[in-house]
């Protein structure tokens, strides 16, 4: 009888079976491995199984024989990722608003393949993608890839920047006139992905939500501008002081808080924010922020337990903001 064409691939199929079907809690006996190989039309005997596992171990795979009263068996012990790490990756994908529902499911499916089938079942039980807010831009992968290529090649890019209309359609801003910028970095903030770039027309640093960017054109031969600005640019600091990643005039402000808000302040501005005790119940911080409606909204959310101490023009702007809000009621 002619041998199966898969017989020559016996060692690879054995590794595939151990990878997909075994883990510390799901061992495979020699007979179970023989039966699994038979499903691929591959014949094996116990002795050949022992020899094959020895070869895989010699090559560097960590295949462990677990002995128990119930018979025990073999499992692949050394994997690229532990189950806890895979769960973290899955949760990160789920929480990423810049990934579409379709792309999220595709990525999670690929992550599951890094685990055994039993462990993949545990990952599936923690997947809750359907009701999460996700972007509608299916081109997100290609946009991010184009941005990375432009950064690597030190070239400018051009793209339409999109916004929602009342018909819930993403349409180009500025009547379709594209933006031309020098890309320098990508950062994640408040579950969204942003491009940090230099706008040559205004000679300033701007940010753009990646899922609101249309098809990118890499401008061959047009070298990036703004290098001198980015030599001293701190992306984390920029993201922390730009509330909701909405722009605004940058100001150094002194804020006063009730002591109970120390955790809120550290979460917002970082552990290195300078804190000064004002009295027994209050403390102050001096920070740089982009003064905007989003900053005022964040402050308003803390109620009477927070206020702006200085400068006077920012305090006045906050008062005007509150009056405008109250005028709606």
Asked whether 219 and 194 are in contact (CB, 8 A), the reply is no
Q: Are residues 229 and 245 in the same domain?
A: no
In a domain, 41, yes or no: yes
In a domain, 91, yes or no: yes
Domain count within the chain: 4
Residues 25-83: pLDDT tens digits?
A: 889 999 999 999 999 999 999 999 999 999 999 988 889 998 877 778 999 887 878 88
Closest CA to 128 of 84, 87, 85, 91: 91
Tokens of 115: 């685990």
In a domain, 2, yes or no: no
Q: Which CATH number do you get for residue 226?
A: 2.30.30
Tokens of 222: 């047009």
Question: Does a cis peptide bond (omega within 30 degrees of 0) precede residue 311?
Answer: yes
Residues 256-296: pLDDT tens digits?
A: 999 999 988 887 787 788 899 999 999 999 988 888 888 89
Closest CA to 144 of 111, 83, 103: 103
In a domain, 164, yes or no: yes
In a domain, 135, yes or no: no
- 95 vs 73: CA distance, rounded Å: 38
Q: Are residues 229 and 257 in the same domain?
A: no
Q: Three-state SS across 148-189? A: HHHHHHCEEEEECEEEECCCCCEEECHHHCCEEEEEEEEEEE
- pLDDT mean across residues, the chain: 85
pTM tops 0.75, yes or no: no
Exposure on the CB side of residue 135, measured as CA atoms within 13 A: 25
Q: Are residues 317 and 282 in the same domain?
A: yes
Residues 199-217: pLDDT tens digits?
A: 998 888 888 988 889 999 9
In a domain, 132, yes or no: no
In a domain, 137, yes or no: no
Q: Are residues 221 and 265 in the same domain?
A: no
Q: Which domain holds residue 287?
A: 241-326
Residue with tokens 């929602």: 164
Last residue of a domain, one of 206, 233, 260: 233
- 317 vs 314: CA distance, rounded Å: 5
Q: Which CATH number do you get for residue 40?
A: 1.10.10.10
- 234 vs 258: CA distance, rounded Å: 29
Last residue of a domain, one of 183, 204, 233: 233
In a domain, 140, yes or no: no
Residues 137-188: pLDDT tens digits?
A: 667 778 888 999 999 999 999 999 988 877 777 889 888 899 999 999 888 8
- b/e map 89-111, b = 16+ CB within 10 Å: bbeebbebbbbbeebbbebbeeb
């Amino acid at each position: 009888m002619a041998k199966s064409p898969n017989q020559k691939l016996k060692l690879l199929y054995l590794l595939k079976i151990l990878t997909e079907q075994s883990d510390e809690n799901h061992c495979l006996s020699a007979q179970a491995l023989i039966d699994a190989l038979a499903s691929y039309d591959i014949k094996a005997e116990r002795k050949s199984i022992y020899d094959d596992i020895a070869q895989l171990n010699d090559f560097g795979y960590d295949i462990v024989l677990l002995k128990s009263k119930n018979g025990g068996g073999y499992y692949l012990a050394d994997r690229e990722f532990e189950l806890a790490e895979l769960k973290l990756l899955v949760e990160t994908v789920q929480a990423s608003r810049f990934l579409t529902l379709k792309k999220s499911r595709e990525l999670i499916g690929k992550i599951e393949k890094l685990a055994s089938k039993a462990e993949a079942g545990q990952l599936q039980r923690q997947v809750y993608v359907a009701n999460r807010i996700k972007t509608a831009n299916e081109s997100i992968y290609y946009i991010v890839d184009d941005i990375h290529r432009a950064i690597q090649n030190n070239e400018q890019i051009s793209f339409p920047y999109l916004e929602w209309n009342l018909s819930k359609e993403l349409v180009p801003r500025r009547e379709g006139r594209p933006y031309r910028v020098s890309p320098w970095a990508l950062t994640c903030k408040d579950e969204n992905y942003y491009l940090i770039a230099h706008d040559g027309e205004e000679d300033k640093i701007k940010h753009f939500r990646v899922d609101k960017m249309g098809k990118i054109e890499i401008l061959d031969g047009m070298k990036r501008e703004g290098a001198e600005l980015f030599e001293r640019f701190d992306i984390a600091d920029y993201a922390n002081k730009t509330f909701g990643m909405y722009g605004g005039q940058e100001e150094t402000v002194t804020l006063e808080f009730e002591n109970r808000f120390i955790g809120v302040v550290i979460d917002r501005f970082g552990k290195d924010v300078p804190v000064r005790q004002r009295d027994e119940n209050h403390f102050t911080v001096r920070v740089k922020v982009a003064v905007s409606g989003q900053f005022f909204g964040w402050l308003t959310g803390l109620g009477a337990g927070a206020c702006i101490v200085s400068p006077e023009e920012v305090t006045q702007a906050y008062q005007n903001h509150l009056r405008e809000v109250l005028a709606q009621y």
